[in-house]
Amino acid sequence: MAEKVLMKGNNAIAEAAIQAGCGFYAGYPITPQNEIPEYLSKKMHDIGRVFIQSESELAAINMVFGASAAGARAMTSSSSPGISLKQEGISYIAGAELPCVIVNIARGGPGLGNISGAQSDYFQSTRGGGHGDYRLIVLAPSSVQEAYDLTMKSFDLADIYRNPVLLLSDGYLGQMIEPVELKEYKKPNNLPAKDWALTGCKGRKPNVMKTLYLVPPESLIKHNIHLQEKYGRIKKDLCLYEEAETKDADLIIVAYGIAARVCKGSVLKARKEGIKVGLVRPITLWPFPEKIISQLADKAKKFLVVEMSMGQMVEDVRLAVNGKKPVEFFGKAGGWIPSLDMVLEKIKELK
Amino acid sequence: MTVMKKPETLKEAVTHYCPGCGHGIIHRLVAEVIDELKIREKTVGTAPVGCAVLLYDYFNCDIIECAHGRIPAVATGIKRVHPDLVVFGYSGDGDMAAIGTAEIVHAVNRGENLTFIFVNNAVYGMTGGQMAPTTMLGQKTTTTPYGREIKEAGYPLRVSEMLATLDGACYIERCAVNNAANVIKTKKAIKKAFQNQIDKKGFSIVEVLSQCPTNWGIATIKSNEFIEKEMMKIYPLGVLKDKGD
């Protein structure tokens, strides 16, 4: 087994970004994600890559817009209120079809909320977040190791689909220290050439990066259809989830991120007591793993969605279950985290 | 006799600008400078939100269209990735004096090695003639129907003077395109602002007082006089900062 090192979730994300060839980072400090810019400020500098502490989140995401347009692997990170500020830029990046990685170490909201981990940004993450019909690829880790692995994957997916990728973690995972295997980054061989990048038009026609489609009048409709076709391709290609004890389960728990990790413990404990319960943990929040949930809805009797929010992903589960079985919700927003026993109690209540 | 040619940096296109608008002149000056410095193939332009949003329809070089006010941040991203490219910003008074004040202040303060053209026509042109922070006292716009009053809308903002106080600014000059002599001076300033970037000297800005007869509601010839008589009182021409060598 490869050697493991103890690492904070935020530092693991930063290290993975460096390994994956992130050439440009811009961000503005906000708790609980500050370890990411702090880590990168030194390491990026030491290896001759670009780190900028920007004047605002608006500036940070627009610097990323420029850096990505120039062909670099670019990343920004923030936490919930800061991610709200970045939405304008994210809409432009999605509209211009540029790759980039956005990390949200989510905290409680609305407003300033607090600095505890939370899962209240699910709607914002999976529905686009800013104005216009667009989608982000959204990946949700549930351990420090997975945060490391998915950060690397985020850069690849962004490049493959020319689309922003959001790594949706939370304050608990960001601050948690766990052993991590610092796997070597392996560049996929299907990365498309960035022939669209702004590099000066020597020997070619000028490249234009834009999101305004005025004439002919149908050009914006065409652009939106083109984007939808891409999102359709992504939905077909990409679906990551973890399944545990679902085969004969009467009750299926659906949870993601740190909440899912707690739920897994509850499921295993319930199994020891003979309760037929299983877990589905979506890793891609968009595209949402609706197929597996729909299939399980044919066999299972009931679903329970556990979230550290007032109920957001539960809507996607209900869409996937499509009325076939009842879908219950258990969760609170504002820094609440379920305990193994709390979920176990809920399981017993519903079985 | 010298025959004037269209600069290679300008495309064969008819612009959408109104009669008497200064943008066409300023576009041509920027294009001539890029030609003369032989940098077209290593130049990236950043287009604003505002009348000049379609910069890529007119300029024959790589261009990115930015969100309103965010040009200095986008240009920073490009330039830091490719320090050997020449990156210029083309902004209006909405970008520079209102929605993008944070971005321009900090890009200048970081001393980014960029060239900015700041077109000041004292009004929001593209959206139909609303007040800009640069609108003069008493000036009528669609959102100051009785003329700009201090108690409701404050004072005209002198962005270039403000930016000139920053240590990161290398060169800032205010010019105008209201007559031939000033057009020649504007070109000289633009050329210097590009040359500074090539010489890695830091942030250069050329503010250009420009005509907007449509939204000022006056004839094109009168608008040249308006720049001279009204705008220059508030926005005097000249070099505001020059770090030199």
Contact A71 B81 (CB under 8 A): yes
The per-residue pLDDT for range A184-229, each reduced to its tens digit, is 999 999 999 999 999 999 999 999 999 999 999 999 999 999 999 9
Structure tokens at A27: 């961000």
Closest Cα partner for A157 from A124, A115, A190? A190
Contact B62 A71 (CB under 8 A): no
Q: How many Å lie between the alpha carbon of A162 and the closest alpha carbon of chain B? A: 16
Surface of B (177-236) touching A: CB under 8 A: none
Taking contacts as CB-CB distances below 8 angstroms, the residues of chain A near B41 are: 200-203
Contact B74 A65 (CB under 8 A): yes
State whether residue A216 sits within 8 Å of chain B by CB. no
Structure tokens at A252: 């299926």
State whether residue B75 sits within 8 Å of chain A by CB. yes
Q: CA-to-CA distance for A315 and A330, rounded, in angstroms?
A: 13
Q: Is the peptide bond before A287 cis (omega within 30 degrees of 0)?
A: yes
What confidence score (pLDDT) does residue B126 get? 94
Taking contacts as CB-CB distances below 8 angstroms, the residues of chain B near A201 are: 40-41, 60-62
Does residue B164 fall inside a structural domain? yes
What confidence score (pLDDT) does residue A351 get? 84
State whether residue B153 sits within 8 Å of chain A by CB. no
Does residue B161 fall inside a structural domain? yes
CB B88 within 8 A of CB A77: no
φ/ψ (deg, to 5) at A97: 55, 60
Look at residue B35 and tell me whether its pLDDT is greater than 80. yes
Does residue B32 fall inside a structural domain? no
Does residue B151 fall inside a structural domain? yes
What confidence score (pLDDT) does residue A2 get? 77
Which H helix or E strand runs over A341? helix A340-350
Burial of A116-128, coded b for 16+ CB within 10 Å and e otherwise, reads bbbbbbbebbbeb
Does residue B8 fall inside a structural domain? no
Instruction: Identify the CATH number of the domain in which residue B187 sits.
Output: 3.40.50.970
Structure tokens at A52: 């900028």
Q: How many Å lie between the alpha carbon of A51 and the closest alpha carbon of chain B? A: 9
**N-term to C-term CA, chain B:** 37
Average pLDDT over residues B141-164: 98
Taking contacts as CB-CB distances below 8 angstroms, the residues of chain A near B103 are: 55, 58-59, 62
Contact B56 A54 (CB under 8 A): no
- Per the structure, how many domains does chain B have? 1
Contact A66 B82 (CB under 8 A): no
Does residue B173 fall inside a structural domain? yes
Q: CA-to-CA distance for B211 and A87, rounded, in angstroms?
A: 35
Contact A206 B74 (CB under 8 A): no
The per-residue pLDDT for range B188-239, each reduced to its tens digit, is 999 999 999 999 999 999 999 999 999 999 999 999 999 999 999 999 999 9
Range of the domain at B127: 40-242
Residue A312 DSSP one-character state: S
CA-CA distances (angstroms) from residue A261 to A68, A126, A241, B23? 34, 21, 13, 59
State whether residue B62 sits within 8 Å of chain A by CB. yes
Of A23, A56, A200, Cβ closest to residue B41 = A200
Structure tokens at A297: 């809805």
Contact A52 B74 (CB under 8 A): no
Of B54, B59, B81, Cβ closest to residue A24 = B81
3-class secondary structure, B88: strand
CA atoms within 13 A of residue B146's CA, in its CB half-sphere:
5
Q: CA-to-CA distance for B91 and B71, rounded, in angstroms?
A: 8
Taking contacts as CB-CB distances below 8 angstroms, the residues of chain A near B106 are: 54-55, 59
ipTM of the complex model: 0.97
Contact A66 B56 (CB under 8 A): no
Does residue B190 fall inside a structural domain? yes
What confidence score (pLDDT) does residue B4 get? 82
Contact B61 A210 (CB under 8 A): no
Of B54, B77, B110, Cβ closest to residue A66 = B77
Taking contacts as CB-CB distances below 8 angstroms, the residues of chain B near A62 are: 66-67, 70, 73-74, 77, 103
Taking contacts as CB-CB distances below 8 angstroms, the residues of chain B near A98 are: none
For chain A, give the longest Cα–Cα distance: 70
The one-digit pLDDT tens for each residue of chain A (351 residues) are: 678 999 999 999 999 999 999 999 999 999 999 999 999 999 999 999 999 999 999 999 999 999 999 999 999 999 999 999 999 999 999 999 999 999 999 999 999 999 999 999 999 999 989 999 999 999 999 999 999 999 999 999 999 999 999 999 999 999 999 999 999 999 999 999 999 999 999 999 999 999 999 999 999 999 999 999 999 999 999 999 999 999 999 999 999 999 999 999 999 999 999 999 999 999 999 999 999 999 999 999 999 999 999 999 999 999 999 999 999 999 999 999 999 999 999 999 998
For chain B, give the longest Cα–Cα distance: 56
Q: CA-to-CA distance for A69 and A97, rounded, in angstroms?
A: 9
Taking contacts as CB-CB distances below 8 angstroms, the residues of chain A near B47 are: 210
Does residue B233 fall inside a structural domain? yes
Contact A72 B66 (CB under 8 A): no
Delineate the domains of chain A, giving CATH numbers in brackets. 4-181 (3.40.50.970), 242-350 (3.40.50.920)
φ/ψ (deg, to 5) at B211: -80, 145
